Amino acid sequence: MTKQCSSSLVGLAQAGPTFSPDAALAAKRIELIDHLLAIRGDVLVEREVDPLDNAMAFAGRGRAVDEINRTRDLLRQVEAAIGRFNDGTYGTCEECEGDILEARLKAVPWAACCIPC
Chain residues binding Zn ion by CB under 5 A are 93, 95-96, 98, 114, 117
Q: Which of 55/103 has CB closer to Zn ion?
A: 103
**Rounded Cα–Cα distance for residues 80 and 88 (Å):** 12
Per-residue burial over 87-96, b = 16 or more CB atoms within 10 Å of its CB, e = otherwise: eeebbbbeee
Closest by CA to 104, choosing from 35, 30, 24, is: 24
Comparing CB distances to Zn ion, the nearer of 11 and 98 is 98
Nearer to Zn ion, 75 or 93 (CB): 93
Smallest distance, Å, CB 49 to Zn ion? 55
Give min distance, CB of 101 to Zn ion, in A: 10
